[in-house]
Each structure stands twice: as C-alpha cells, then as structure tokens.
Structure 1
Amino acid sequence: MQEITDEIYEQDRYLLFIYTPFCGTCSLARSMLDKIEAVHQQDIFYEMNASLNPEFMQEYKVESVPCLLIKEDGRVKDKIYAFKSIANIYSYLMEYKPELFATS
C-alpha cells in the first residue's frame, strides 16, 4: 500500500484506506487489504492517516476509521466502514475494480 499523493487525489478513480496509527480495528483492516494485495502481487489501495488530514475528513464526510473510500468517475461512490472479512472486501473489488479478475 502506498501513501496517497496530491497527484492521486486529482485522479478520477482510486481506493483509499483511511486509518489512524493507534486504531486496533484499523490494523485488522490493513492486514486484510495487505493480504489482498499480496494475492494479486500489486498495489491496489492507497492509504491516508486521518489524523494528518482533517480537512479531507471533513470535506468527504468520513465518519470513522477504518474507512475504505471508493472514488470513481471523479466522485465518491462508496465509503466502507465495516470491513467484516476479506470476502466482503472482494465483493466491492469485483464491482469497483473488475480488471483484477479479468482472465487472459
């Protein structure tokens, strides 16, 4: 997972994991996302420390952490707060990142 940059903010499409460093639930959510990236052997998610970005949190009305913010077509399509399981996250990936599942 790589830290989001200003260039990425400007893109029309990304999956952003929002966390705080001392949040236990965030650590569990991160481990799920790390496992997904390991399976696909690529960076899929960007990350952002909510504590360092209060303006972003307010602008996008992020209610709590962990949060997986899904931006598509230049707008926020979804905010996932309940990660539940890897399978649950995959259900969102199938909808918002179907290219991960394309067969050659």
Structure 2
Amino acid sequence: MVKVVTDNDFAAQTDTGVVLTDFWATWCGPCRMQSPVVEKLEEQMPDVKFTKMDVDQNPDTPKGFGIQAIPTLVVKKNGDVVEKIVGYHTKDQLQDILNKYTD
C-alpha cells in the first residue's frame, strides 16, 4: 500500500533513497486514474518508496514545490528533487523515469 504522507512527516518520509510522491486530491479525475498505476509500480519496484499526499489536506508541501496542477509526481533521490512530472503518466513512462535513479 502506498504510504500516505502529510506536511508534518513529508521530509522525514522522503529523505532517503529514491521516493516518488503522488500529489493528488479526491475530486481530481486524472488523479484517480494515476493512483492504480502508482500502486502497481510499488508492487514491481521494491527499491523505490512510493508515497502520496492529498493537496487539500496538506497545502504547505505542494505550495513549497510550486505545484499548481494535479496529479503531480515528484521524484526525490536522497532528499533532492530530481524530477517533477505533471499530469497522468503510464506505468511504463513512470518506470523509465524511476529507472534512471535506481542503482
């Protein structure tokens, strides 16, 4: 299950290794399409941590990243943002992006 993170624990949960965070909202249709893709990737890529954040309940972190559209996926490696991807993406597209950062 993809770990839900909040403004309070985002930094601690995403500062080590390769982490993909799905910024989403319950009312967002494309977000509801993206979630199962992220969940499937989590099953297939054990070396990547997958998290998600509801932007309505946690406005500070998305604001800090300048997120203005959702879904937005942020990839961090060892605490540094290495990719910011806006809009729906397929499993293959996301896997190709994540493979660039896994050893």
TM range (shorter): 0.7 to 0.9
List runs of 5+ in structure 1 lacking aligned partners: 100-104
Identity %: 22
The superposition leaves residues 51-77 of structure 1 with CA deviations (integer Å, 9 ceiling, x where unpaired) of: 112111211111211111112243221
Task: Report if aligned partners of 1:83, 1:89 keep a CA contact under 8 Å in 2.
Answer: no
Higher-Rg member (1/2):
1
Q: Which has the higher contact order (CA 8 A, sep 6+)?
A: 2
The 4+ residue runs of structure 1 with deviation greater than 4 A are 40-43
> Cα offset for 1:78?
1.3
Q: Distance in 1 between matches of 2:79 and 2:90?
A: 27
Q: Distance in 2 between matches of 1:78 and 1:4?
A: 19
61-70 or 72-81: which moved more? Answer: 72-81
Query: How many residues were matched structurally?
Result: 97
Q: Which of the residues 27, 33, 39 maps onto 2:32?
A: 27
- Greater fraction of residues in helix: 1
- Greater fraction of residues in strand: 2
List runs of 5+ in structure 2 lacking aligned partners: none
